[in-house]
A = this chain, B = another copy of it.
């Protein structure tokens, strides 16, 4: 460790801080600051043979930046107050995916405070998620995950406050959170799939949740065609948002990345960045244009009903084969080059695709898609605008006032552009649809705005989910948080308001008005989880709400029922034998808001939470003979520390 006085270090920190504040515009030549990713980009390009990426680098982004700066001077920044003083509530729920952390997070917006972690695909030490009996059953033995996209269920084109859906890219799953409790209540394995990436619920009424496979594999993936990638394919999967059952799949030849649905329930969309079917970088980047898959849902469902399907894998899910060329189920709208995001404008008219390796976004008029499917026009004729927005466009949000905001990865900016002007500019090069660009820090991935994914987009707050934070926060070693930035878009000029460090890697978020979500304050004792416990209790002749019983279930198995009420467990001690499989079923009788209890057994790696009026259970093996204290790890009372009991393990 370097030896240095505190004073010298403080000087260094202040100097570095000064740089950060002054780098509103990039400083060429300072490779450790904004320029670094361009540098990394070039390294990458060198690594892969310059080609495709370099093509775009010569663009006019520097000129554009200066131009935008001049324009800004005349504009007025928004005046929204992002400060939420103690005791005041936020205006929006931010639903955040947690990326590799496997969780969902709820943030308060505009304060950007995390107000809830919801464990979903992960094992969570605090709540016992992935360890208690019920969640273990849901997870099916896989307790890591890579959540990417969070969306709420819809009714009539806006959020209905019932469910949150999230994908697991790592293990090809879709999970659901019940907004009454903000807990995961269902999880579905997606067959014939790897790398489940984009998902989107139907917006007219959820309805179906559509899920894209990003990775092409042999179909079926059972050992055949291992070495013939040309025979690979990927699935667009429809899951019923209520029953969480897989209804059908459509097999296409290319990969699928982001997903969107229209506002009428007719179409779903998937960007394809690897229409080439490549299995390495060069292969995936060969073509100048890839495409947007457009799925005709009525035609697909008709085919399923008429059993015009094939069997893949275990054959339980009907598969519509749409590989190879355009037809009644799928049309391919050509989009330059390796498109990533696809986002619907709140008026339901346009699907906006971001080029990623092209500096353009392509605006697809969904009202023209009927004609595409009818063969009256070509797929590419549905593209009505293609403005140049910057280097590395990824995703687009909307303000409900006709403007779009596209995240630009390599340039590290958000580009605001006007949709109508972009359509004009498609025919008239003299029209400039670009309204403004604002620097973000650094390398933005997703962006989203308040209510942007609904017909009620209100144009107040925009989030830029930046993949790198570098020097924006105190140095915390080699692994950094990312940086979710808050931008006021209510004025004619964007205004950066807050840097929000985020545990990696929240890919996406949506912002939901607070009046839409109504969680319960104590656990509603209904649904499949309670049916599971009620059945078990009935079998044992136990009343969960009052009985304390230790029941031996044959050789080596013990069930322990107990209740809890601050600051005591109903059972102050119980006896088991060393090596017993012990299942503790605990019911929290406290019906007071925020009064959770839990159950932790010393030196047994056993812990779970039991929320107000909830029942949970956990199963473990009793250790060597001796006394083991169990205790309540959830602070519940002035005498919380005394809330414990003894598990006495006999030889």
Which residues 2-29 of A sit at the B interface, judged by CB distance below 8 A? 2, 4, 6-7, 9-10, 13, 16-17, 20-21, 23
Cβ–Cβ < 8 Å partners of A53 in chain B: 638-639
CB of A605 within 8 A of chain B? Answer: yes
Shortest 7 CB-CB contacts between residues of A and residues of B? A223-B625, A102-B125, A182-B477, A477-B519, A122-B125, A478-B611, A221-B626
Interface string of A72-114 (1 = CB under 8 A from B): 0000000000010111111001000011111100101000011
Interface residues on A, range: 35 or more
Contacting residues, chain B, for A217 (C-beta < 8 A): 626-629
Residues in chain B near residue A644, CB distance under 8 A:
215
Task: Answer whether A180 and B477 are a contact pair too, CB < 8 Å, given A44-B567, A143-B605, A642-B284.
Answer: yes
Task: Report B-chain residues with C-beta under 8 Å of the C-beta of A328.
Answer: none
Sampled A-B contacts (18; CB under 8 Å): A40-B595, A44-B637, A86-B472, A89-B474, A100-B634, A144-B605, A170-B602, A170-B605, A170-B607, A171-B603, A183-B477, A215-B631, A223-B624, A280-B572, A392-B638, A478-B612, A478-B614, A504-B634
Neighbouring B residues of A90 by C-beta, 8 Å: 473-474
The quantity of this chain's copies bound in the complex is 2
Q: With A1-B161, A519-B477, A629-B215 as given contacts, are A100 and B410 in contact (CB-CB < 8 Å)?
A: no
A468 touching B594, Cβ below 8 Å:
yes
Please give, as numbers and ranges, the residues of chain B lying within 8 Å of A600 by CB-CB distance.
100, 146, 170
Q: Is the CB of A479 within 8 A of B609?
A: yes
Bound state CA distance, A625 and B340, in angstroms?
Answer: 31
Q: Is A277 an interface residue (CB 8 A)?
A: no
User: Contacts of A218 on B, CB cut-off 8 Å?
Assistant: 626-627
- A204 at interface (Cβ–Cβ under 8 A)? no
With an 8 A cutoff between CB atoms, is A298 at the interface?
no
**Residue A66 is within 8 A (CB to CB) of chain B in the complex:** no
Name the residue of chain B whose CB is nearest to the CB of A523: B478
A100 touches B598 (CB 8 A): yes
Contact B108 A125 (CB under 8 A): no
Residue contact B194 to A472, C-beta cutoff 8 Å: no
Contact of A479 among B23, B514, B611 (CB under 8 A): B611
Known pairs A499-B87, A627-B221; A473 contacts B565 (CB<8 A): no
Residue pair B594, A635 in contact (C-beta under 8 Å): no
Pair A473/B113 contact, Cβ less than 8 Å: yes
Judge if A421 is at the interface, Cβ distance under 8 Å. Answer: no
Given contacts A44-B567, A468-B635, A480-B593, 18 further A-B contacts (CB under 8 A): A1-B161, A36-B592, A47-B565, A86-B497, A87-B441, A113-B473, A113-B500, A115-B481, A115-B501, A123-B143, A179-B477, A194-B602, A194-B629, A222-B625, A356-B638, A392-B638, A474-B517, A478-B521
- Inter-subunit contact B162/A144 (CB<8 Å): no
**A641 x B181 contact (CB < 8 A):** no
Report A223 CB to chain B, min CB distance, Å. Answer: 3
Distance in angstroms between the alpha carbons of A126 and B506 in the assembled complex: 11
Give the CA-CA distance A142 to B601 in the complex, in Å: 12
Which chain B residue lies CB-closest to A600? B170
Q: Look across to chain B and name the residue whose beta carbon is closest to the beta carbon of A128.
A: B144
Q: Is A496 an interface residue (CB 8 A)?
A: yes
Q: Please measure, in the bound complex, the distance between the C-alpha atom of A517 and the C-alpha atom of B476, giving whole angstroms.
A: 9
Task: Check: A241 CB closer than 8 A to any chain B CB.
Answer: no
For window 134-163 of A, CB contacts with B under 8 Å fall at 141-146, 161-162
Would you list which residues of chain A between 501 and 560 have a CB under 8 Å from chain B? Answer: 501, 503-505, 513-523
Residues of B within 8 A of A130 (CB): 123
Residue A646 CB within 8 A of the other chain: yes
A237 CB within 8 Å of chain B? no
Tell me the complex Cα distance, A592–B36, Å. 9
How far is B85's CA from A497's CA once the two chains are assembled, in angstroms? 7
A61 an interface residue at 8 Å Cβ cutoff? Answer: no
A518 touches B2 (CB 8 A): yes
Asked if A379 CB lies within 8 Å of chain B CBs, one says: no
Asked if B181 contacts A503 (CB within 8 A), the reply is: no
Report the bound CA distance from A481 to B473 in whole Å. Answer: 24
Tell whether, in the assembled complex, residue A9 and residue B114 are in contact, meaning their CB atoms are under 8 Å apart: no
Mark each residue of chain A from 565 to 604: 1 if its CB lies under 8 Å from any CB of chain B, else 0: 1111000110000000000000000101111101010111
A629 in contact with B101 given A88-B20, A518-B475, A651-B223 (CB within 8 Å): no
Q: Is A32 an interface residue (CB 8 A)?
A: yes
Contact A648 B36 (CB under 8 A): no
Known contacts A226-B650, A468-B594: does B638 contact A257 (CB below 8 Å)? no
Q: Verify B410–A470 contact, CB threshold 8 A.
A: no
Closest to A257 in B: B641
- In the complex, A49→B594 CA distance in Å? 24
Given contacts A281-B567, A477-B183, contact A172 B634 (CB under 8 A): no
Cα distance A305–B331 in the bound complex, in angstroms: 83
A10 to chain B, nearest CB (A): 4
A367 within 8 A of B: no
The minimal Cβ–Cβ distance linking A35 to chain B, given in whole angstroms, is: 12
Whether B479 contacts A596 by the Cβ 8 Å rule is yes
